[in-house]
Amino acid sequence: MDSKGKRIGILFVLCILLAVMAAVVLMNYNRFVGKDARPVGNGSADSVSSQIIEADGKVHGADLSAFLKDSEFFDADVPNSSSQNTYDEVDENGDPVRSLTVSASSVERDIRVKIMDDRGEVVSGQEFAVEVADTGVYVDEDRDGIILISDIKPGEYKVSLEQQQGFKVPASPVSVRVKSIVSYTVIDDIDFFVHAESEVDILKEDTSDKELDSEDEDDSQYTALLELEEDERANAVKLGIDVSKWNGEIDWEVVKAEGVDFAIIRCGYRGSSSGWLLEDPYFYKNLTGAKKAGIKVGLYFFTQATNLVEAVEEASMVVSLLGDTEIEYPVFIDTEGAGGNGRADNLDPGTRTAVVNAFCQTIQNAGLDAGVYSGRNWFYNNLIVDEMDAPNVWLAEYRQTPLYEGRYDMWQYTSNGSVAGIEGRVDLNVSYLGIE
């Protein structure tokens, strides 16, 4: 390369360095001057990105550093409005006023009132009160934004939200028709009635008694996955597990490799003390993990329903949690004891059977398969099996051969099982449903 070429090369490098230094200077200038500093020109994105006006007044073509001169190129830091309260007006003292809306619905001889803001979110932390025309005034004592009114005669009612400082209540009451009998259809707004475990005392609420009566188990039970004969496999007999948050983190790929065909996953439960609807915190993690590993899935819900309305609520919650996800196995209502202190422990067999039937019917009306889970003695003593309308029966009896004389489609043969990929004990099951 001759000396002239070298000089040109050096000059080119120097120009690049100067351009970089200019860009740095411009960046720091905008930082210190502030966001109000604007480039020369009409301020549009197109003009700034395509031209630069130099000190000589001449307009030069596109420059890669032109965007640095545009104060609007980078998105401004705008607070997330969805996480903040919105206010439509102020009161006579100049304090902001939050607008409210009210909705009212009925399942059976009840009114369910929800107080919401203009984003449709339930407003909690306030002791709201509503007046039901010709009936009385009802207060949201637990301040969760939901008021449940029971034992209301069927008919048409008007519900008005009473004035509350700092809030603008609807000017007109809302109408609601109280139903005379429960319909076994999914409650559309059931999500408003579902709580997180962080809101309750878990030791009092999640109390399903997985240890069955001593008569339902013996020392001969298997603790590993059964070894099925070829003809059993040919008849679609399958091996599976059922899990909940109590099983912790699960390596579903390892579980699949161990020979597990299906998993019945707990999606939620009703609190044994409060009666609140609570989601199992591991539900979605278990659901997605099992399906990704190629394991077929069913669901179960631990009930503490004491009447038909609560049974429909529980079924509605299951349908809502599942959403559009497809499952292969049924949705089971788990009816068993809660240590003797559960709100449903002392139900008579007729009422408990009606609860099971209402749950199953609601699940079926939603287009899903349904079933009931319990132990041998619970079936015998706490349900009326002949009046049970559950399409599928899942029996828990921990011995090598069940003594239960009724029909069953799945058999939980141990709660003391061991499967690689799961730490600690796990329930093991056999399915005769014929699901491939």
Strand pairing report for 296-302 and 52-53 = unpaired
* Contact (Cβ atoms closer than 8 angstroms) between residue 106 and residue 178: yes
- Predicted confidence band of residue 166 (pLDDT cuts 50, 70, 90): confident
138-161 average pLDDT score: 93
- Which residue, among 269, 202, 259, has the nearest Cα to 228 in the 3D structure? 259
Percent of the chain with pLDDT over 90: 64
What is the model's pLDDT at position 42? 39
What is the model's pLDDT at position 98? 87
Taking 70 as the threshold, does the pLDDT of residue 67 lie above it?
A: no
* Cα angle: 292, vertex 254, 224; to 5 degrees: 120
- pLDDT tens-digit map of 256-297: 999 999 999 999 999 999 999 999 999 999 999 999 999 999
What distance, in Å, lies between the first and last C-alpha atoms of the chain?
Answer: 77
What is the model's pLDDT at position 22? 64
What is the model's pLDDT at position 92? 60
Which residue spans within 76-211 are E strands per DSSP?
Answer: 89-90, 96-105, 111-117, 129-132, 136-139, 146-149, 155-161, 167-168, 174-178, 194-195
Domain-by-domain residue ranges, the chain? 3-69, 85-178, 190-431
- Which residue, among 306, 410, 312, has the nearest Cα to 360 in the 3D structure? 312
Contacts from 100-104 at CB under 8 Å and sequence distance 24+? 100/161, 100/164, 100/167, 100/168, 100/169, 100/170, 101/170, 102/130, 102/159, 102/161, 102/169, 102/170, 102/174, 103/174, 103/189, 104/157, 104/159, 104/174, 104/175, 104/176
CATH architecture of residue range(s) 190-431: Alpha-Beta Barrel (3.20)
- Predicted confidence band of residue 213 (pLDDT cuts 50, 70, 90): low
What is the model's pLDDT at position 344? 96
Domains 85-178 and 190-431 are alike in CATH topology: no
Half-sphere exposure of 119 (CA within 13 A, CB side): 11
What is the model's pLDDT at position 9? 62
- How far apart (Å, rounded) are the C-alpha atoms in residues 175 and 423? 53
305-310 average pLDDT score: 96
| Residue 367, both tokens | 């287009």
Strand pairing report for 277-279 and 262-270 = antiparallel
62-87 average pLDDT score: 45
What is the model's pLDDT at position 218? 83
Question: Residue holding tokens 């799945």?
Answer: 410
349 or 35: whose pLDDT is higher? 349
What is the model's pLDDT at position 15? 65
* Cα angle: 393, vertex 399, 400; to 5 degrees: 95
- How far apart (Å, rounded) are the C-alpha atoms in residues 82 and 118? 11
* Contact (Cβ atoms closer than 8 angstroms) between residue 176 and residue 111: yes
Question: Residue holding tokens 């939901």?
Answer: 146
Q: What is the CATH number of domain 85-178?
A: 2.60.40
- How far apart (Å, rounded) are the C-alpha atoms in residues 71 and 51? 15
- How far apart (Å, rounded) are the C-alpha atoms in residues 238 and 3? 84
- pLDDT tens-digit map of 392-424: 999 999 999 999 999 999 999 999 999 999 999
Count how many residues are written for the chain.
436
What is the model's pLDDT at position 399? 92
